[in-house]
Chains A and B, each alone.
Chain A
């Protein structure tokens, strides 16, 4: 298998009018890394994730995925799981997962039919079984609990085998028990599939129990006269040794 999903961030700056959000951000992730982004609220970690998704463009600097600059818009090479509005409320569980194949297989109608739909459904059902949602496949998302919805969002994002999986506080709204089982699931999926993961979280123990890299964003320079003058940057970059987790 060719290794893919190497992320290189070179001297990235992000400035909004009157407010520097990020400055001098450098980061290199090897393929298959699991990177947790931590930091206080408003330190720019979600902005950074939005740049990785190409929803926002850095003011300065460059972001490369496997040596290529990121395309200027979101694309199937990078999957995402949001904390809210993670899945489509108008589609049944199974249709939420098939959706990615619908888009790639039926450019005009956006919906596969016949033999190809059955094949896509089988792939989707296998993935739903892997995340523990096999029994819920004909339900609508509103009939699922919060944890089950995030499982569905994971399955949906993994359907197209993205090189980079981006998670924006995906378990922030879940209770501790559900959170723990989601951690197990995510770890297992990451080990099996070997994609690079970048997860934004404000939960330090979550970061250290899951990630191979914990990256903290913080404002290291502060000008009390001009609070917007300096942005946050990488203040800590900690490698967590996880020999048993080495993705092959």
Chain B
């Protein structure tokens, strides 16, 4: 019998082919940018919209490796440190809230009855709408930015964790009780270990919104930070700084996501077996 071609869904790329296919969009984007930039510079040698790679390199060198003329600081690193500090504090507070409120409301019916309507309503408040209130009550300093990030991501994380606790099979909770566990011991030995991997997932999914709130807050009122710098540079149409900053932010977010994923599989090997 003549060999027929397989269905399209049954062709699988090799490992090397997978890597190459994954690189294609990036190469196309870089090549397309280079082409567009060159064409614009033929028309206007002073074009600021699509700076050449040489100009981008010079801007990176100026921002990251040359002390600022006015302050003597390396601006990219100062901005990165300020932004990461706000992000970490906001996410840490949100994670602590999620752990405390999510586990208790998920497990203890009386606390659920008392707290879950309030949490459901609070989670519907658009965080950006209360940013003025935060600025008025906490001032324009660090606290209001951290609170905005916390307020922005904590309700989702709390509700997600409450659901995850609710998804623990009743059989396991009954079994723990027949082994003599108290409520506290059930939290410590059963519920927390079972939901911690899900908590790390919730943090990962919250990274996007957290960056959004961070950059928004920095754009409105700040004196340093990655978001502050981008919006400052917009006034001078300094695309040669803005583009590397955006790429840097993306890289940071990607690295954080990857680190969380690796941490989860290192700390909780059993989650990989169960799937």
Give residues in A with beta carbon < 8 Å to B. Answer: 53, 55, 73-76, 78-80, 82, 84-91, 99-100, 102-104, 107-111, 140, 142-143, 156-157, 159-160, 162
Nearest 9 CB-CB pairings of A with B: A76-B180, A74-B177, A142-B273, A85-B171, A85-B169, A110-B185, A100-B179, A110-B189, A82-B171
Contact (Cβ within 8 A) A102 B178: no
Other-chain contact of B178, A53, A85, A104 (Cβ < 8 Å):
A53
11 more contacts with CB within 8 A, not counting A80-B174, A80-B175, A107-B184, are A53-B174, A85-B171, A86-B175, A90-B193, A90-B194, A90-B268, A100-B180, A102-B189, A103-B181, A107-B182, A109-B188
**Which secondary structure dominates chain A's binding surface?**
loop
Residues from chain A with Cβ under 8 Å of B172 in the complex: 85, 88
A140 partner, pick from B169, B185, B273, beta carbons under 8 A: B273
A165 to chain B, nearest CB (A): 10
B274 interface residue (CB < 8 Å to A): yes
A-B contact pairs, 11 of them (CB 8 A): A75-B178, A76-B179, A84-B169, A85-B169, A86-B171, A88-B172, A88-B176, A90-B268, A110-B188, A110-B189, A111-B189
Identify whether the interface residues of B are mostly helix, strand, loop, or mixed: helix
Residues in B neighbouring A160, C-beta threshold 8 A: 179-180
* A110 touching B184, Cβ below 8 Å: yes
Q: Is B200 part of the binding interface, using a Cβ–Cβ cutoff of 8 Å?
A: no
With a cutoff of 8 Å between Cβ atoms, the chain A residues found around residue B274 in the complex are: 89, 142
Using Cβ atoms and an 8 Å threshold, which residues of chain B touch A79? Answer: 178
Is the CB–CB distance between B273 and A143 below 8 Å? Answer: yes
Give chain A residues whose Cβ lies under 8 Å from the Cβ of B182: 103, 107
Judged by a CB distance under 8 angstroms, whether B26 is at the interface is no
Task: Say whether B270 faces chain A, with CB atoms less than 8 Å apart.
Answer: yes
B119 to chain A, nearest CB (A): 26
Residue of B nearest to A109 (CB): B188
Bitwise, B178-213 to A at CB < 8 A (1) or not (0) is 111110110011100110000000000000000000
Q: Is the CB of A140 within 8 A of B270?
A: yes
Q: In this assembly, does B269 line the interface, its C-beta being within 8 Å of a C-beta of chain A?
A: yes
A140 touching B189, Cβ below 8 Å: no
- Min C-beta distance of A117 to chain B, whole Å: 14
Contacts of B189 in A (CB 8 A): 99, 102-103, 110-111
B residues near A89, Cβ cutoff 8 Å: 194, 270, 274
In the complex, what's the smallest C-beta–C-beta distance from A112 to chain B, in angstroms?
11
| B71-99 near A? 1/0 per residue, CB < 8 Å | 00000000000000000000000000000
- Which residues of chain B (241-275) have a CB below 8 Å from chain A? 268-270, 273-274
B171 near A103: Cβ-Cβ < 8 Å: no
- Nearest opposing residue in chain B for A157, CB measure: B178
- Chain A nearest Cβ from B169, distance in angstroms: 4
* Chain B residues with CB under 8 A of A74: 174, 177-178
Shortest C-beta distance, A201 to chain B (Å), equals 17
In the complex the two chains form, is B177's CB within 8 Å of A73's CB? yes
Flag if A90 contacts B169 (CB, 8 Å). Answer: no
